[in-house]
A and B are shown apart, each in its own frame.
Chain A
Amino acid sequence: MLARVLRSRLATLLFLAAVIAVIPFLAPSAFYLRVAAVVWVFALAALGLTILMGYAGQVSLGHAGFLGIGGYAVAIGPAQFGLHPVLCLGLGAVLAGVIAYLVGRPILRLKGYYLAIATLGFGVILALVFHSESQWTGGPDGMQVARVTLFGWRLSGAANWYWVTGGALLIGAWLALNIGVSPTGRALKALHDSEVAAAGAGIDVGSRKLAAFVIAAVYAAVAGGLMAAMNGLITPDAASFMHSIELVAMVIIGGLGSVLGAVVGAAFLVVLPQALTFMHEYEQAVLGLLIMVFMILLPAGIVPTIRNWLLERLS
């Protein structure tokens, strides 16, 4: 029975919904809601990346660039063209998808290290653009994002954003779970195991990879847009290489290809720096050490390891 629950998609979704619903009742102050909201946003970006990395087995080291595209879309749209921020969130996602499609076509021909370096280069270029096109992006200091009003209701405060980001994450998780069992998802998992075998089975490897790349870019752009709107600010730092690495680390620590894993990985890297502040100077070192310990002891990632352990016990 429990084994069936562990394997069910609906259970994953219900579990996530329950966690999102319960946290506000346990949080002693709005600060905890703010941290949780940041977790949900990063989890959304990590979800996209887990489709690319976990399902399809392709690495992207420039993914924060798409985060930046989404963020700057929400910042620039209302400021320069007077568009509604919600519309800009959608436009940012579309723009990221189109850019991913155009860039993905040539670079997804590359494999392994070469693909990693190409995506890294792409991310660095985007960060440079955000940095230097200051008449559009405000330059290194970033730009303000107008506060969002929805149906006359001004969206602000940690609690409101908690529900918005939590809702977005749930929708994202639902889509990711369904993609996982769709023909595309199955094709991606097949080409992850062996591209030659997948091609032999009649899978169009190139276009499936491209689809995964575009999906991942759209997830990141939506996350970036939400983050910019929540913070009321976007800086070129959002698209930095360090953030790309952070996203990859979230996916790997949580568990490649696992939807809950993306959320747990995001929680790990967002909550731990907050929890370790009492160590002052040693905070960074301890954080690094903890990541190493987790990777050595739980190489498959936190969520798959626990899941397998439970399944082993039950069978």
Chain B
Amino acid sequence: MRTSVTGRWALRAVALSGAIFAAAVTTGATLAFAADPVKIGSVVSATGPAAFLGDPEAKTLKLYVEELNKKGGLLGRPVELVLYDDGGDANKARTFATRLVEDDKVIAMVGGTTTGTTMGMIPVFEDAKIPFISLAGAIEIVEPVRAYVFKTPHTDKTACQKIFEDMKAKGITKIGMISGTDGFGKSMRGQCLKVIGDYGITVLADENYGATDSDMTPQLNKIKNTAGIQAVLNPGFGQGPAIVTRNYAQLGIALPLYQSHGVASKSFIDLAGPAAEGVRLPAPALLVVDKLPADDKQKAIGMAYKASYEKAIGQPVSTFGGYAFDGIQLLVKAIETAKSTDPQKIRAAIEGTKDYVGVTGIYTMSATDHLGLGTDSFRMLVIKGGDWVMEAK
């Protein structure tokens, strides 16, 4: 096909004006909604490498705000969720955070899927004095405590404490450790070593493996041949722990094997196969919500969230969406308590959260604790017959 010279120029002009139009429409759109609604901001990684975390978070936030508006909104005003996708890029997250604060004028923010994006956004909200409830894992987000920053997911430290509590109750004092060298494994190993002294437990063998290693027999053999070890702990994420579990069974090590909350998903049981029998791990209540006893405090809210999410989205519920659910719930409760949309008052109300029962755990915040979860936010599970079995608390 041959277009005339003028035709080609016309097409080029169309392309340019199209882009300018797109930009103009957005500027117009942001000007159109000026007043009334309560504006809550969010920046999550709904696409990119962290999408498996960010996507359920985004869906949960949208679903919850929709339901909230059906019930009449907040303080008699509708709620508007301003949601942006950073694609897992900390630089973009920071730009969107600036947009939420400077342009959209949100009164609070629930988001920040990864530790990287959260750390990138913290200064923006701290400078603007607007509450920010993060959905990311690392303990650095709330330690040291920053006035306006909170978070909902439990940390590696809590998981370590839960595991050590369980070991202590069983009289285990000497353990072997085999950790992944990926971000998750490294961070959890560090946190575990920090708190292990509180439980009078010592590590006799401290081994590690690369995230893509396919055989951990040599490391496990070392642990097996170290005298006095009573249990083995494997902080890790992804396929590594499944291989450790299989090698563990092949070597016929009879000691209890503790995995982390990093493998609290069905795919771990599938990957590890029959070798997973008897493996112990801490997991959030949402994973076993159907099996919780009827009098469990978290049963009702967990079942309700699971039912509404699975009905609306048509995908199984995940603990990551649960973090977002608790984040927005905490914020909504705080706005109701403060009876105001003033960020200062909301901040104070979030900090004053007491015994809020969420799907992740039961939150009690304070001026020195902006996470507010104890070890009771985890349940100790044992794998039996290819499924999770609850241990008594």
Beta-carbon contact of A275 and B23 below 8 Å: yes
- State A293–B26 Cα separation when bound (angstroms): 20
Instruction: Report the interface size for chain B: residues with CB under 8 A from the other chain.
Output: 43
Determine whether A160 belongs to the interface, using a CB cutoff of 8 Å to chain B: no
Which residues of A are found within 8 Å of B19, using beta-carbon distances?
268, 272, 290, 294
CB distance from A64 to the nearest CB of B (A): 11
| Beta-carbon contact of B138 and A31 below 8 Å | no
Which residue of the partner chain, among B25, B92, B102, contacts A30 with CB atoms under 8 Å?
B102
**From A298, which residue of chain B is reached at the shortest CB distance?**
B12
A232, B12: Cβ atoms under 8 Å? no
**A272 to B187 alpha-carbon distance, docked (Å):** 36
| B183 contacts chain A at the CB level, 8 A cutoff | yes
Question: Shortest CB–CB separation between residue A176 and chain B, in angstroms?
Answer: 23
Q: In the complex the two chains form, is B91's CB within 8 Å of A227's CB?
A: yes
Q: Mark B115-144, 1 if CB is under 8 A from A, else 0.
A: 110011001000100000000001010000
Inter-chain contacts of B22 with A (CB < 8 A): 272, 275-276
Give the complex CA separation of A309 and B101 in angstroms: 41
Is B98 a contact partner of A298 (Cβ separation < 8 A)?
A: no
Per the bound structure, the CA–CA distance linking A280 and B23 in Å amounts to: 15
Q: Mark A282-296, 1 if CB is under 8 A from B, else 0.
A: 011000001001100
- B29: CB under 8 A from chain A? yes
Q: Is A158 part of the contact surface with B, judged by Cβ < 8 Å?
A: yes
B270 at interface, CB cutoff 8 A: no
Complex Cα gap A315–B12 (Å): 20
- Of all chain A residues, which has the CB nearest B99? A31
Q: A275-B23, A297-B12 are in contact. Are A38 and B115 (CB under 8 A)?
A: no
B164 interfacial contact with A, CB 8 Å: no
In the assembled complex, B220 has its CB within 8 A of some CB on chain A: no
B91 contacts across to A, CB distance below 8 A: 38, 227, 231, 238
Which of A48-56, A139-147, A187-195 lines the interface with chain B?
A139-147
Report yes or no: B123 in contact with A232, Cβ–Cβ below 8 A.
yes
List which A16-32 residues lie within 8 A (CB) of chain B: 28-32
> A34-B98, A158-B102, A235-B116 known; A141 and B138 CB under 8 Å?
yes
Stretch with Cβ within 8 A of A (4 or more), from B71-79, B81-89, B250-258, B324-332? B81-89
8 shortest A-B CB distances, which residue pairs? A31-B102, A140-B183, A141-B115, A31-B103, A29-B102, A235-B116, A34-B98, A275-B23
Any A CB within 8 A of the CB of B94: yes
**Which chain B residues lie closer than 8 Å to A283 at the CB level?**
85
**Cβ < 8 Å to B, chain A residues 117-135:** 132, 134
Cβ-defined partner of A231 (8 Å) among B16, B88, B90, B182:
B90
**Closest B-chain residue to A294, C-beta based?**
B15
- 21 interchain pairs, CB-CB under 8 A: A29-B103, A30-B98, A31-B99, A34-B94, A140-B182, A141-B114, A156-B127, A227-B91, A231-B94, A233-B120, A235-B116, A272-B19, A272-B22, A274-B26, A275-B22, A275-B23, A276-B22, A277-B26, A278-B26, A297-B15, A305-B12
A203 within 8 A of B: no
**Contacts between the two chains (Cβ within 8 Å), count:** 106
Known: A276-B22, A283-B85. A231 touches B102 (CB 8 A): no
Compute how far the CA of A268 lies from the CA of B18 in the bound complex, rounded to whole angstroms.
Answer: 13
Whether the pair A273, B186 counts as a contact (CB closer than 8 A) is no
B102 touches which of A34, A156, A232, A277 (Cβ 8 Å) = A34
Interface of B is mostly: helix
A278 and B25 contact, Cβ closer than 8 Å, known pairs A31-B98, A231-B120, A297-B11? yes
A264 vs B101: C-alpha distance in the bound complex, in angstroms?
26
A28 to B27, CA, bound (A): 10
> Contacting B95 at CB < 8 Å: which of A35, A134, A144, A272?
A35
Q: Is B47 an interface residue (CB 8 A)?
A: yes
CA distance A34 to B120 in the complex (A): 14
A277 touches B84 (CB 8 A): yes
Contact bitstring A136-165, B, C-beta under 8 A = 1, else 0: 000111101000000000001110000000
A298 to B9, CA, bound (A): 9
* A298 close to B120 (CB less than 8 A): no
> Min CB distance, A274 to chain B, in Å?
7
Kindly list chain B residues whose C-beta atoms are within 8 Å of the C-beta of A302. Answer: 16
| A268–B83 alpha-carbon span in the complex (Å) | 22
**With A and B bound together, what is the CA distance between A231 and B118 in angstroms?**
12
Tell me which residues across on chain A come within 8 A of B186, comparing CB atoms: 134, 139
| Residues in A neighbouring B102, C-beta threshold 8 A | 29-31, 34, 158
User: A99-133 CB contact bits vs B (8 Å, 1 = yes)?
Assistant: 00000000000000000000000000000000010
Chain A residues near B16 (CB-CB < 8 A): 302
Determine the chain B residues whose CB is within 8 A of the CB of A277 once the complex forms.
26, 84-85
A39 to chain B, nearest CB (A): 10
A271 at interface, CB cutoff 8 A:
yes
Name the residue on B nearest A277 (C-beta).
B84
Docked pose: A305 CA to B12 CA in angstroms: 9
Tell me whether A141 and B95 are in contact in the complex, defined as CB-CB below 8 angstroms, given that A31-B103, A232-B123, A298-B12 are known contacts.
no
In the complex, chain B residues whose CB is within 8 Å of the CB of A233: 90, 94, 116, 119-120
B2 to chain A, nearest CB (A): 15
Q: A142 to B187: give the CA distance in the assembly, Å.
A: 13
| Min C-beta distance of B355 to chain A, whole Å | 31
Most buried by A among B16, B23, B85, B116: B116
B182-202 CB mask vs A (1 if < 8 Å, else 0) is 110011000000000000000
Q: Is the CB of B95 within 8 A of A237?
A: no
Q: Which residues of A contact B115 (CB under 8 A)?
A: 141
* Known contacts A134-B186, A294-B15, A297-B11, A235 near B25 by CB under 8 Å: no
Closest Cβ of chain B: how far from A182's Cβ, in Å?
33
B89 A237 Cβ-Cβ under 8 A: yes
Q: A309's contact among B9, B25, B85, by CB below 8 Å, is which?
A: B9
In the assembled complex, the Cα of A141 lies from the Cα of B94 at a distance in Å of 15
Q: Is the CB of B95 within 8 A of A34?
A: yes
